[in-house]
Amino acid sequence: MRVDSNGKEVAEIKTTLGDLVIEFWDEVAPKTVENFKKLSQKGFFDGTAFHRIVKGFMIQGGDPLSKGDDPMAGTGGPGYTIPAEFSDRAHVRGVISMARSEDPNSAGSQFFICLADARFLDKKYTAFGQMIQGDEVLENIGNTPTVGGLGGEKSKPTTRVGVESVKIVTLESDSP
């Protein structure tokens, strides 16, 4: 993988529909980025699924309960929470952000990637990176048919969109 990156670390999210590459925003969400990298390096996300897909809004993953057919998928986490790190970064297509409950400091492992402009989430959710490759894959995941899930929201995928692995890799620079 070669892009002009000056050796920057990124996340390669391998899904059953293709790969997404996420560039981190260490400068605005350092604790969140560190947590995501730590979980990725431990293999925490491997075998999970995008358990919540809201067409035209976002895809959500990172729940260990989604590794199986647990009806409570969407409520799991790593067993701890991290503090919110709100910033001026806009929630637009391709931005990755932490999912949470009503408590701003309740994020743990669940994350979402925006399918469209979602600026109403700005300064309410911790945005910590931007997708730099995989837009067609994101579109295909976002178009997965859904049915009613937890709470009746039409967001439960009818076919599993698996996360095979999340790897932290260093991009090679094109600069001499």
* Closest alpha carbon to 35 in 134, 121, 90, 105: 105
pLDDT profile of the chain (176 residues), mean per 10: 64 98 97 98 98 97 94 94 97 98 97 98 98 98 92 91 97 61
> What CATH number labels 9-170?
2.40.100.10
Residue 109 near residue 17 (C-beta atoms within 8 A): no
Q: Alpha-carbon distance 146 to 171, whole Å?
A: 35
Q: Alpha-carbon distance 12 to 9, whole Å?
A: 10
pLDDT at position 174 is 55
Question: For residue 106, which amino acid is it?
Answer: S
pTM (2 decimals)?
Answer: 0.93
* Closest alpha carbon to 93 in 125, 63, 134: 134
pLDDT at position 3 is 44
DSSP secondary structure, 134-155, as one string: -HHHHHHHHTS-EEE-GGG-EE
pLDDT at position 6 is 63
Residue 86 near residue 126 (C-beta atoms within 8 A): yes
pLDDT at position 71 is 86
